[in-house]
Structure 1
Amino acid sequence: MALFGNNRSSRNIATGAAAYTPKKSLARKIKDMVLPKRKRKAEDTIAPTSFRVLRTRPYGTAYTPITPGITPAKPTLVVAAPVTIAPTTTAVAATTLVASGSSSSSGDGTNNSTELQKLKKLEETTKNIPRYLFRACSPSSGGGLKGLNTIDGVFPHAFVDANGKRLPNGGHKSIHDIPYQVTRRMAVGHLSGQRPGRTEPTYSQFSSWAATLALVLQYGYSRSSQGGLICVLDRYNLPKHTKVYHCPDMMKAGLCDSPYDHEYLVHGPVEGAGFKAVTVQTLVDMGLYNEIPCVLPHSARYWWGPIQQREWESLFPHKDFSAKQIKNLRKIADQFGKSFALPVLAALVTLDRRKLDKNGKFSEGDLKIFAEVVEDLYIPEEYGTENSIVQPEGVYVQGYPMVAQLVGLLKQLVEYNYGRGVRAKRKIKVEDLSAELGALGLPPGKESLDLQVGGKAAGGILSTSFAFGVSDVPVVAPV
């Protein structure tokens, strides 16, 4: 109460009123706190307190304090002349936006510097995207439009016409060719299931993928009778302009509202050597869901989002490696072709919770069983380096124990295949074979060796993948 009373007295003094000294009696003090000594005239100017100045003055207007005893000048009201916008100009701009989608939020056709910086940081995160991603879909996915999800590729809405035929100039080559705000509305609409009209610039140019095969298999099971597909992509072999983005990174860039940490958005068509699809019914008929019942819809858990290690261990006891099971899963993985058989098999094997040592590694016996089943497959050495199948710092491994097992298995497989003197042994064998070829009387100075190795023309390259599961080794012709 004393605070408000002091403010009231100081306000009267500031407006030129005579100073008032309250009497000593308590009743007088209380009366003074409630009523001023004399009524304030209507023409007296009241200086606003500092709090009201901050709250009420318009932005960009300088505040001039009022000096006691001086009447401030009346402010001059400036009225801006109204600006008339020609309807034709607005219509043309709107038509351009719909037709090309190349206008930015600032209206000049380019993203501003802040937006460009966000997109630049987003592009840097693509280096940590998993090499292989999975997707479950069916002809009814994406609103049931034709041509979106096929055995030959996955094509976002903007890249096909109403009849499901590929549009030669559909969509954009990159999100950098799209205005920032348009990309944002497109991504938010895609993730929320909203589908704008085909002619609108926010018509989706994305498709959704996941690093967790468990979620994909569980989601796809109910679509086995609807022509459902289980798809896999290899990011290293996608079309040149097709890019993959992790939703949490897109959220940091301001392009979506929720993290969706299990989901990846792929911009552009997914087809060619970096894509393979198999029908869900084929996997069902081959007994996949009998081998790995934890991914059935009535399993103990629906694999949407992360799971804590303690919960995973309590729901699913670990299963030991079985040569029989691994061989059965290999037959299923072979349905995805030789290029995808190894990563798909590794992903299938690690869907079950496996027994790991205190360092989180598979035992020598389990690793040997797996290595023997895949000894005829090419094992990229980069699986064990910074270009791994899944980057631990680039994916939510914590909370996704199946993905963590997948990463660990492939890295140990690389060490098993390339380490412990394997390189030296391979070099010795190749040198011995080169000497034997020289003894056959090959002409000296021949630049290439036209040989038939393993049933294929080597053309100067001697295939050793049949023996080591590694890439081809150049053979130098003897001089």
Structure 2
Amino acid sequence: MAASHYRGASLPETELSSWAASFAVALRFADGEYGPRGRHPHLAVFDTQALGNGVEVWHAPQLIGRGDHEYLAHGLISGEGYKAVAVADLEKAALRELRDGELAQEEVFAGSKSVARLFGEAFAMPVALALVTWVPRESWTGVVAILVEGAVAAGRWEEVERQGTLMRELTDYGHGRSVRQREFGERAEERERARVEEARVRESGDGDCEGIVEMEVKKKKSGKKGDDKGSGYDDAAKEYREP
């Protein structure tokens, strides 16, 4: 049943509900499967210690070996240990701005309190802490776009800090210790390849060359005096012996 629920299959009918420990994961589901269909998604939180003995919660990998982002609950979740708030109301209280990192540092605390207050007194503190520690992680495409544009907004301290870190890494990769280590490694590989090739040529080629020289010398000895052909063989043997 747990595996079927995780895959979204209709059979067997599930008795489980899906949960996450991250607002980011919950919002992905709200934006994806439910948001565009004209429904009114809610974000809910619950206290596992206040739901009574009839509810069991498992981390998905405990049951199906995958799904680190998901928790599975069995039982009726309701009462004082449960609170759901419409996503539209959370957005009005700055949830999207918190998610997208659009608030200045001094505005993050006020925005987090505004959102957390909607979940009631029992959940205000844990929700606020979750939001304050919610660090946006943009894709590499967004980071590259900052460099392509050639400018950084002075008021966006996150971008300034990110670009500084990125430029330090790029400088070290192209000019610092990293490039020296790569050069040493490449030179060592070239020397090793040359040594192996030299050994291979020595093992496979020297015997053949010696045989050719020996044959040429014998032909020279059997040739007549003043024979141009014999002289040519002698020159060939001499060239081989000379370094």
TM-score, structure 2 as length reference: 0.50
- The answer to whether structure 1 residue 203 and structure 2 residue 2 are counterparts is no
Match of 2:25 in 1: 215
Superposed counterparts of 1:20-169, under 5 Å: none
Q: Give the distance between the partners of 2:121 and 2:112, measured in 1 at CA.
A: 14
Q: Give the distance between the partners of 2:47 and 2:133, measured in 1 at CA.
A: 19
CA-to-partner distance for each residue in 1:429-466, whole Å, 9 max, x for gaps? xxxxxxxxxxxxxxxxxxxxxxxxxxxxxxxxxxxxxx
Percent identity over paired residues: 33
One-letter identity of the residue aligned with 1:243:
E
Match of 1:276 in 2: 83
Match of 1:193 in 2: 8
1:333 pairs with one of 91, 116, 121: 116
User: Is contact 1:229-1:278 (8 Å) kept?
Assistant: yes
Greater RCO (Cα-Cα under 8 Å, separation 6 or more):
1
Shift of residue 194, structure 1, vs aligned partner: 1.1
Shift of residue 290, structure 1, vs aligned partner: 2.0
Q: Give the distance between the partners of 2:136 and 2:8, measured in 1 at CA.
A: 33
User: Is contact 1:229-1:279 (8 Å) kept?
Assistant: yes
One-letter identity of the residue aligned with 1:262:
H
One-letter identity of the residue aligned with 1:233:
F
Query: Per the alignment, do residues 334 and 342 of structure 1 end up closer, same or farther by CA in structure 2, a change over 3 Å counting?
Result: same
1:232 pairs with one of 25, 39, 45: 45
User: Is contact 2:100-2:136 (8 Å) kept?
Assistant: no
Q: Give the distance between the partners of 1:232 and 1:262, measured in 2 at CA.
A: 15
Shift of residue 328, structure 1, vs aligned partner: 2.4
Shift of residue 219, structure 1, vs aligned partner: 2.7
Q: Give the distance between the partners of 1:346 and 1:321, measured in 2 at CA.
A: 15
Shift of residue 294, structure 1, vs aligned partner: 5.3
User: Is contact 2:25-2:69 (8 Å) kept?
Assistant: no
TM-score, structure 1 as length reference: 0.26
- Which has more helix, going by share of residues? 2
Three-state SS of the structure 2 residue aligned to 1:281 is helix
User: Is contact 2:42-2:85 (8 Å) kept?
Assistant: yes
Q: Give the distance between the partners of 2:69 and 2:133, measured in 1 at CA.
A: 17
Q: Which structure would you say has the larger Rg? A: 2
Shift of residue 331, structure 1, vs aligned partner: 1.4
Shift of residue 211, structure 1, vs aligned partner: 1.0
Q: Give the distance between the partners of 1:231 and 1:214, measured in 2 at CA.
A: 13
One-letter identity of the residue aligned with 2:117:
D
Match of 2:128 in 1: 345
One-letter identity of the residue aligned with 2:23:
L
Match of 1:16 in 2: none
Q: Give the distance between the partners of 2:10 and 2:29, measured in 1 at CA.
A: 21
**Structure 1: unaligned runs, 5 residues or longer:** 1-185, 197-201, 251-255, 296-318, 355-479
Three-state SS of the structure 2 residue aligned to 1:347 is helix
Q: Give the distance between the partners of 2:60 and 2:53, measured in 1 at CA.
A: 21
Q: Give the distance between the partners of 1:232 and 1:271, measured in 2 at CA.
A: 10
Query: Per the alignment, do residues 294 and 192 of structure 1 end up closer, same or farther by CA in structure 2, a change over 3 Å counting?
Result: farther
Three-state SS of the structure 1 residue aligned to 2:80 is helix
Shift of residue 353, structure 1, vs aligned partner: 5.6
CA-to-partner distance for each residue in 1:39-77, whole Å, 9 max, x for gaps? xxxxxxxxxxxxxxxxxxxxxxxxxxxxxxxxxxxxxxx
User: Is contact 1:239-1:270 (8 Å) kept?
Assistant: no
Match of 1:241 in 2: 54
CA-to-partner distance for each residue in 1:309-361, whole Å, 9 max, x for gaps? xxxxxxxxxx9842x3212220111000000001111111111269xxxxxxx
One-letter identity of the residue aligned with 1:212:
S
Three-state SS of the structure 1 residue aligned to 2:62 is helix
User: Is contact 1:228-1:280 (8 Å) kept?
Assistant: yes
Root mean square deviation of aligned Cα: 2.4
Shift of residue 291, structure 1, vs aligned partner: 3.2
User: Is contact 1:335-1:341 (8 Å) kept?
Assistant: yes
